[in-house]
Structure 1
Amino acid sequence: MGDTLSIKIIIKSKKTLKYLKINDNYAAGLVPLNFSEEVIHKNKLIYYQNQNVGKIKYYVYQINKGSNTIEYQAIVKYTGKYTDNGVSIRQVYSQSNSVSRSKKYTLNVSGN
């Protein structure tokens, strides 16, 4: 409890993709740090981020071919066992309307 975690969303793509919506369903025991709704220019990405309860949404203009990273800090606020429910990525204007999903992870937090 009280530890700061660095959360990294690593997106690997075989080609350049435009207009993506990324939902990060973070674990309930976490609270994102220094979070603001704004346009970010970082790691060769341009994206808008906003936060809802238990979820951060990223609207990305373009993901380049290769590996791309979105990162933020979160603090562990509560003890317990939490599941993050994974990350989903959807290309907004794609005709296939397919969604990619990450694995889910479990976070066990003790009071030590």
Structure 2
Amino acid sequence: MAGEPQADCLFCRIVAGEVPATVVRESATTVAFRDINPQAPTHVLVIPKVHHPDAASLAAAEPEIAADVLREAGQVVLDEKVEDSGYRIVFNTGAGAGQTVFHAHAHVLAGRGLTWPPG
């Protein structure tokens, strides 16, 4: 069921403390941690503690938590001191867009040139 932890979800297991992660921020509703396969010098994932398969599902079901994810992404930018050099916040949705873990999450990317349009 949406919102409930999923036993087979990597990010739910990180939230539960069952899988280690390099956590850089945590709030009552979110966890932010370094990506294990970084695509930029700064690559942090910000996830809601509740399980929803993608950003649109999260926003439809729990818009206040979707806002928390974006707020925490902004705090990661400040903590990492990349606000002046530029950064990108990305929500991949679906396998065709590169989503590999089907738990809503934002990628915070910075520290190198980020061309548009991306790959």
- Which TM-score bucket, shorter chain as reference? 0.3 to 0.5
**Which protein has greater RCO, CA pairs closer than 8 Å, 6+ apart?**
1
TM-score normalised by L of structure 2 = 0.31
Query: Is the strand fraction higher in 1 or 2?
Result: 1
TM-score normalised by L of structure 1 = 0.32
